[in-house]
C-alpha cells in the first residue's frame, strides 16, 4: 500500500514503511509494509540494520540524533537478543552470498536461506518483507544457476510478491522479478554452474503452501 509522502519521515529501527526511488515515475515512493493506524506516524529506516552498538553511533554521526525508538530502548536482555539475531542475520547473509559455496555446495546455501528466513521472522515479524525479497532472490539465483527451474520459479514468485509490497507494481526491480517468474531461464545465471538440479517449471506450484512443499523447496 502506498502512503502519502510527507516532507519528513521519522526514523525507526523497526519501521512500518519503506522508501524507494521509482526511476520510471521519477519520484520517491513510500509503501507501508504493515497496517498503520490512523494516529500512528509513518516511519522508515535511516540505518542499514545491524546490532545497536553499530547502528546507533551511525545514526548519531550521520543524522545527529540519539535513537530512542522502541527497539533501541528495549530492556537490556531483550536488546541483546535482538542484537544477537541481527549479527546472525549478517552472518547468514554473508554465507549465502559466498560464490564458492554457491558453486560447490549449493545445498548449504539453501539451508542458510531457510535459517535466515526464520531469523528474519523472529527479529522483524511482518516487517521482514524487504529482507525476504532479497533472500528469495538469492535462493532463486542458487537454484537457477544449477538448472532448477521449478524451485527457481517459486523463489522468484515469492520475491516478486515481496517487491510489490515494498516498491509497488511498477518499480523497475518489481517488473524485473516478474519477468523471472514468467521466464526464469532468461536469467543470465541459468545453468551457469551445473545442471545437477534440473527440473521443469511445472514443479514450482505442485503442492504449493503445504508442509511437504516447503520441505522440498529448501532441500536438495
pLDDT in tens, 58-99: 989 988 889 998 899 999 999 999 999 999 999 999 999 999
**Mean pLDDT of the region 42-53:** 87
Residue 95's pLDDT is: 96
Spell out the residues 6+ positions from residue 121 whose beta carbon is closer than 8 angstroms to its own. Answer: 128
Quickly tell me which residue has 554465507 as its cell: 95
- How confident is the model over 106-112, as a mean pLDDT? 96
- CB-CB contact of 48 with 32 (8 Å): no
**Alpha-carbon gap, residue 101 to 107, rounded angstroms:** 9
- Mean pLDDT to the nearest integer, 12-39: 88
Between 131 and 47, where is the model more confident?
Answer: 131
pLDDT band at 49 (very low <50, low <70, confident <90, very high): confident
CB 146 within 8 A of CB 106: yes
What is the model's pLDDT at position 205?
Answer: 60
Give me the pLDDT at residue 45, please. 86
pLDDT higher at 3 or 39: 39
Number of Cβ within a 10 Å radius of residue 164: 18
Cα 154 from Cα 137, distance rounded (Å): 10
pLDDT grade for 7, boundaries at 50, 70 and 90:
very low
Q: Which helix (H) or strand (E) holds 57?
A: helix 52-63
Q: Which residue has the cell 536482555?
A: 77
Cell numbers for 57, please give them: 553511533
- Across the range 144-164, mean pLDDT stands at 96
Q: How is residue 192 annotated by DSSP?
A: S
When the pLDDT of each residue in the chain is averaged and rounded to a whole number, the result is 90
- CB contact set of 115 (below 8 Å; sequence gap of 6+): 92
Amino acid at each position: 500500500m502506498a502512503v502519502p509522502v510527507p516532507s519528513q519521515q521519522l526514523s525507526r529501527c523497526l519501521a512500518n514503511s519503506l522508501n524507494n526511488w521509482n526511476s520510471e515515475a521519477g519520484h520517491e515512493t513510500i509503501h507501508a509494509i504493515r497496517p498503520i493506524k490512523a494516529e500512528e506516524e509513518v516511519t522508515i529506516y535511516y540505518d542499514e540494520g545491524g546490532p545497536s552498538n553499530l547502528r546507533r553511533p551511525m545514526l548519531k554521526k550521520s543524522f545527529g540524533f540519539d535513537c530512542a525508538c522502541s527497539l533501541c530502548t528495549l530492556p537490556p536482555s531483550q536488546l541483546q537478543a535482538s542484537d544477537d539475531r541481527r549479527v546472525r542475520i549478517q552472518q547468514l547473509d554473508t554465507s549465502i552470498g559466498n560464490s564458492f559455496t554457491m558453486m560447490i555446495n549449493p545445498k548449504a546455501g539453501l539451508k542458510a536461506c531457510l535459517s535466515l528466513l526464520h531469523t528474519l521472522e523472529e527479529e522483524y515479524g511482518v516487517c521482514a518483507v524487504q529482507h525476504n525479497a532479497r533472500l528469495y532472490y538469492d535462493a532463486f539465483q542458487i537454484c537457477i544457476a544449477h538448472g532448477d527451474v521449478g524451485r527457481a520459479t517459486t523463489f522468484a514468485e515469492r520475491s516478486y510478491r515481496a517487491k510489490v509490497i515494498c516498491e509497488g507494481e511498477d518499480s523497475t526491480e518489481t517488473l524485473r522479478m516478474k519477468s523471472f517468474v514468467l521466464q526464469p531461464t532468461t536469467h543470465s545465471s541459468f545453468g551457469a554452474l551445473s545442471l545437477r538440479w534440473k527440473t521443469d517449471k511445472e514443479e514450482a506450484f505442485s503442492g504449493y503452501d503445504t508442509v511437504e512443499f516447503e520441505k522440498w523447496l529448501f532441500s536438495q
